[in-house]
Structure 1
Amino acid sequence: MNSVDTHPLIGYSFGDELFQNRRLMRHGPPPLRGAMRILSRVSGRRMRLREPSVRVRENAVEELEERQNFWAYSKPAIILDLLWNLVFVIVGFTVLGLSVEEKPLVPIRVWVVGYILLCVVHVGCVVAQYRRRREEGDAGSGEVGWGSIGSESSGSGGNVGGYGGEHGLADDDTSITASLESAISMFSFIWWSIGFYWVLNGGQTLLSSSPRLYWLCVSFLVFDVTFIIVYVAASCLVGIAICCFLPCIIGILCAVTDQDGATEEEIDGLPKFKFRRVGDSEKVNGEVQAFEGFMIECDTNAPTERPISLVDAECCICLSVYENGAELRELPCLHHFHCTCIDKWLYINATCPMCKFNILKPHDRREIGQV
């Protein structure tokens, strides 16, 4: 397991969102993982989510965040982001030019200029980070490292975003960039609060004396708040979907993304089992009574039966109890799931969704994380 998430939903800064609202959800959103964890805890009693199932969903959220980080720095997203901020700058300067004769009671014109400057600073940060990621990708192993989410980076579990994990200099640059963005986020929040106070305090008087500046400020403020509400609501919806409909999320990712995990041959090379539920007649024996059923290995001349307890006779991905005759896939870490569930997951990420063991890397059995 990775280290504990340092950005829970309740603790994330509202100011961070005010600066990042123009990034089209660029930075691996704290609300997504936090929302999933809170929802899983709240719904734990009704859904009876056990700790392994919660862990699988947390790892699925991390996978989704890694992919979101990649999508957000793709060329279409960057171009849309730049155009988005360019519209803000053009509209702001246009309204400033048309409102030269307006004399507001509060320095709202200064606030508009500051807001425009924040847009310009944001564009500079995005362009600089985009170029840095592209240079790091070109300096890698010939692949576009900043834009690929391969099984190697996913399997390490310590490099969300898939860049800069092996170079101290890149880590330092990332730390400096993060600190700079945090400082700008705080200033942006303070600046947004000042504008909100001036517009709210000015009221009808400000509207009468400076209608163009008033509506421009209201538009900027409403846009920020609307984006944050939609952003958090979308994160909560995704969290609900991951808690309740994780197989659907995995199926969508498998359909719309490239293969970043194991190949079909590598997946088929993993042992396959059939589940046999213990009958009522077999449960009379006290020794068998502790087991819910047996895993019987397929495609072998001498199949062996492995007992499964009642607690383990459930797929932690789809939350369904193993039915009699269900096909199971066991990973080298000895965690087992429905074939239909785990095969799609391994296609997009060649790691165990429970313990993050990478099935493509040779490991000593003693180093396999048993959870």
Structure 2
Amino acid sequence: MSTRYSSQLQSSAISSITVSSSSSLHSTPHDDNTHMAPQSSPSPSFLMRLAMRVSRARWFIFLRRVFHYQNASRSDLGTNPFNSVTWMISELIALLVQITVITSTLALSKKERPVWPMRLWITGYNVGCLLNLMLLYGRYRQHDTSQGNGFSFGDIEQQERSREETRCSHLMNRCRTSLELFFAIWFVIGNVWVFDSRFGSFHYAPILHVLCISLLTWNALCYSFPFLLFLLLCCVVPLISSFLGYNMNIASSDKGASDDQISSLPSWKYKLIDETSDSAQANNDPECCICLAKYKEREEVRKLPCSHRFHLKCVDQWLRIISCCPLCKQDLPN
């Protein structure tokens, strides 16, 4: 060993007496030909904790609900996750940002003269955003009204209100479908007008051209959302789960609910009604999906926040083990 390192060893000999042999190895200087050991990769425990945090995150739980709602074979899947308040607030912010950017860009680009009526396409897109904003307000009002209703179905007034809500829901769905069809057609027209070399107008209207490309990119991401969600939950998550030995799809539901959470859920005694009745209860399943037994007269039934109903004893026992719906996996509110 060189004299330069021997002097350093002598100066540190006194302090190394009180240190264990393992720690003294780390504190001893190395020779010039000695290389530091490479840092170890993240431990499995760290990756496990990271996977647990991701699986318990609200955005991951929401994506699982969306995937189950869109791909499950059952027709009664509980509440639509896209009608939740959090998602509607996100839609509101996105629409307001788009409307503000489009309006300001149109005002700043008055002197531009594109070869093809690109300004017409942007104006039509802006009108569609305004209609979507009105539709979003109607969805919020409908959600607020449905949350404020009670859970008794024997009253005639309640039955009339249920029929009115059903008609409003069908009307909202038709308007939403029509608006989605308009945006799909407008998206195709925008691609033709912007990317066709015969109608190229970047040099004549650079601001409008950049705005059109930005809007088309945003719509392309929105249309590819189901495919990206499929890749995430059906390809990426299973690979990570098999590598770690930890099921991320049910990890957020491995904690039971408290007695206060369970008792706060609405419950009532079941009442047999005619299958031809227009009551909302006639559309529900006639049997409990936990015990697979049909509901009997005056049996206690409990309703979860996702609108699914089960026997009170069955679902209480389930919720004490896993605090989520047995069908749609929606977690109970804290």
Residue ranges of structure 2 left out of the alignment (5+ in a row): 1-61, 153-158, 264-289, 294-317, 330-334
Alignment partners' CA distance in 1, 2:256 and 2:105 = 42
Q: Does 1:206 align with 2:206?
A: no
Q: How does 1:318-333 map to 2 (within 5 A)?
A: 332-333=291-292
Match of 1:182 among 141, 158, 177: 177
Specify the alignment match of 2:248 in structure 1: 248
Q: What is the identity, as a one-letter code, of the residue corresponding to 1:197?
A: V
Alignment partners' CA distance in 1, 2:256 and 2:93 = 26
TM-score after normalising by structure 2: 0.50
Q: Does 1:348 align with 2:307?
A: no
Match of 2:143 among 133, 151, 167: 133
Q: Does 1:226 align with 2:221?
A: yes
Alignment partners' CA distance in 2, 1:85 and 1:137 = 25
Alignment partners' CA distance in 1, 2:260 and 2:167 = 28
Change over 3 Å in CA distance of 1:236–1:187 after alignment to 2: same
Alpha carbons 2:119, 2:208 under 8 Å: kept = yes
Q: What is the identity, as a one-letter code, of the residue corresponding to 1:234?
A: L
Alpha carbons 1:32, 1:235 under 8 Å: kept = no
Alignment partners' CA distance in 2, 1:235 and 1:192 = 23
Alpha carbons 2:92, 2:133 under 8 Å: kept = yes
**TM-fit CA distance, 1:228:** 2.6
Q: Does 1:191 align with 2:201?
A: no
Alignment partners' CA distance in 2, 1:182 and 1:239 = 27
TM-score after normalising by structure 1: 0.46
Write out per-residue CA displacement over residues 70-125 of structure 1, whole angstroms, 9 at most, x where no aligned residue.
4x444443333212111111111111111111111111101101111111111111
* Percent identity of paired positions between Structure 1 and Structure 2: 18
Alignment partners' CA distance in 2, 1:199 and 1:352 = 42
Residue ranges of structure 1 left out of the alignment (5+ in a row): 1-24, 37-57, 143-163, 264-330, 335-341, 354-371
Change over 3 Å in CA distance of 1:139–1:116 after alignment to 2: same
Q: How does 1:42-61 map to 2 (within 5 A)?
A: none
Alignment partners' CA distance in 1, 2:185 and 2:115 = 20
Q: Does 1:167 align with 2:186?
A: no
Alignment partners' CA distance in 1, 2:187 and 2:255 = 41
Alpha carbons 1:32, 1:238 under 8 Å: kept = no
Q: What is the identity, as a one-letter code, of the residue corresponding to 2:249?
A: I
Specify the alignment match of 1:101 in structure 2: 111
**TM-fit CA distance, 1:136:** 2.2
Q: What is the identity, as a one-letter code, of the residue corresponding to 2:248?
A: C
Alpha carbons 1:250, 1:345 under 8 Å: kept = no
Change over 3 Å in CA distance of 1:333–1:128 after alignment to 2: closer
**TM-fit CA distance, 1:204:** 8.1
Change over 3 Å in CA distance of 1:204–1:182 after alignment to 2: closer
Q: How does 1:291-330 map to 2 (within 5 A)?
A: none
Alignment partners' CA distance in 2, 1:206 and 1:259 = 65
Alignment partners' CA distance in 2, 1:352 and 1:35 = 11
Alignment partners' CA distance in 2, 1:198 and 1:92 = 18
Alpha carbons 1:32, 1:239 under 8 Å: kept = no
Matched position secondary structure for 2:111? coil
Specify the alignment match of 1:89 in structure 2: 99
Write out per-residue CA displacement over residues 132-155 of structure 1, whole angstroms, 9 at most, x where no aligned residue.
12112213249xxxxxxxxxxxxx
Matched position secondary structure for 1:167? helix
Specify the alignment match of 1:266 in structure 2: none
Change over 3 Å in CA distance of 1:189–1:332 after alignment to 2: closer
Matched position secondary structure for 2:248? helix
**TM-fit CA distance, 1:199:** 0.3
Q: How does 1:22-33 map to 2 (within 5 A)?
A: none
Q: What is the identity, as a one-letter code, of the residue corresponding to 1:332?
A: C
Number of residue pairs matched by the alignment: 209
Q: How does 1:64-79 map to 2 (within 5 A)?
A: 66=78, 69-70=80-81, 72-79=82-89
Alignment partners' CA distance in 1, 2:146 and 2:129 = 26
Alignment partners' CA distance in 2, 1:106 and 1:96 = 15
